[in-house]
Amino acid sequence: MDDIYSGLAGRMDTRLIGCEINYYPALYSTMDVAREKGLSGDKEGLVIVAGQQTGGRGRQGRTWFSPEGSLALSILCYPEKSWLSELVMCGSLSILDTIEQYGVKEAGIKWPNDVLIGGRKVAGVLIESRVLADTVIFAVIGMGININSNMTGFREMLIAPASLAVEVGRAIDAQGFFHHLMENTDRLYCGLKSGNSLLDQWKSRLVTLGREVSIMHGPSFLRGLARDVTPEGSLLLETESGEEVIISAGDVTLE
Ligand code: BTN
């Protein structure tokens, strides 16, 4: 696949995100390259984008399938510890805003990071960071988005996959999509840096809240009402026995 991305660096309406864009036709995982760049203190907003990934990873130790036609990228960030937990909100909201620019209806976020269209997963966000005591050394926002993916290659997934192109009924210009995504991410990320929390906006787009859900929590299987989220983005579940449980990570199934 041709490099249609790196030439956009410095030519977008962004302050930080996409100041430099490194494109690789094929990579194991963009997360690994971004981590190396973070360890050497590279520029905030640097984007690593891959034509294809051979070892893409998702949350909870899962693999992430990045076939041709999908977008796989990682963004290097240096957040404060106080808003590190909001990076997942930044990533999922910016993808959501971008797909809605294509006229998509019925899109939302399944807690904490899945972007859905009509209940099917079009994108996922993975946050990795290195934190020492109260200092974030670096963080990486990973985004995997099925923009023009041919759905036939997808193996079994927890949620059925969706492709943006299929949803809107036409091929998506990948460069244009990337450009919108960078601008949306920049707006949200720079807002976070200036002290504007994304919690309320993210919460208002969660399709999970108010629904009956089930989730594995350590060794136990819990079922109950997804009542709310905490300021850090953890899920507040009211179990069938009336107990309130705070869940910081996991995969919920909407009942
Ligand atoms: C998930 O839904 O589990 C998160 C998926 C995140 C996938 C992206 S693709 C770009 C970046 N590189 C990776 O190896 N993973 C993330």
Give residue-wise pLDDT tens across range 228-244: 999 999 999 999 889 99
| pLDDT at site 130 | 97
Residue 201 CA to ligand 1 centre (angstroms): 23
Residue 2 CA to ligand 1 centre (angstroms): 21
Q: Which of 36, 49, 64, 185 to mutate to test the pocket of ligand 1 (most atoms within 8 A of CB)?
A: 64
Residue 27 CA to ligand 1 centre (angstroms): 13
Share of the chain above pLDDT 70, in %: 96
| pLDDT at site 110 | 95
Average pLDDT, the chain: 94
User: Counting atoms of ligand 1 from 1, which one is nearest the CA of 144?
Assistant: 9
pLDDT at 218 over 90: no
pLDDT at 117 over 70: yes
Backbone phi, psi, residue 226, to 5° = -80, 100
Residues 6+ apart with CB under 8 A from 239: 222, 223, 224, 245
| pLDDT at site 82 | 96
Q: Do residues 117 and 151 touch, judged by C-beta distance below 8 A? A: no
Residues 6+ apart with CB under 8 A from 185: 17, 75, 90, 91, 94, 141
Question: What value does the mean pLDDT take over residues 111-131?
Answer: 95
**142 close to ligand 1 (CB < 6 Angstrom):** yes
For the record, the structure tokens of 229 come out as 């989220």
| pLDDT at site 157 | 63
Nearest to 76 by CA among 147, 27, 20: 20
Share of the chain above pLDDT 90, in %: 84
| pLDDT at site 2 | 85
Q: 6-204, which class in CATH?
A: alpha beta
pLDDT at 8 over 90: yes
The residue whose C-alpha atom lies closest to atom 9 belonging to ligand 1 is 144
**53 close to ligand 1 (CB < 6 Angstrom):** yes
* Residue 209, burial from CB neighbour count under 10 angstroms (0-12, 13-18, 19+): middle
CATH 3.30.930.10 region(s) of the chain?
6-204
Residue 229 CA to ligand 1 centre (angstroms): 23
The pLDDT confidence band at residue 154, using thresholds 50, 70 and 90, is: low
| pLDDT at site 152 | 66
**94 close to ligand 1 (CB < 6 Angstrom):** no
CATH 2.30.30.100 region(s) of the chain?
212-254
| pLDDT at site 251 | 82
| pLDDT at site 60 | 86
pLDDT at 153 over 70: no
Q: pLDDT for 53-108, tens place per residue?
A: 999 999 988 899 888 889 999 999 999 999 999 999 999 999 999 999 999 999 99
**73 close to ligand 1 (CB < 6 Angstrom):** yes
Return the CATH number of 212-254, one of 3.90.920.20, 2.40.170.20, 2.30.30.100, 1.25.40.10.
2.30.30.100
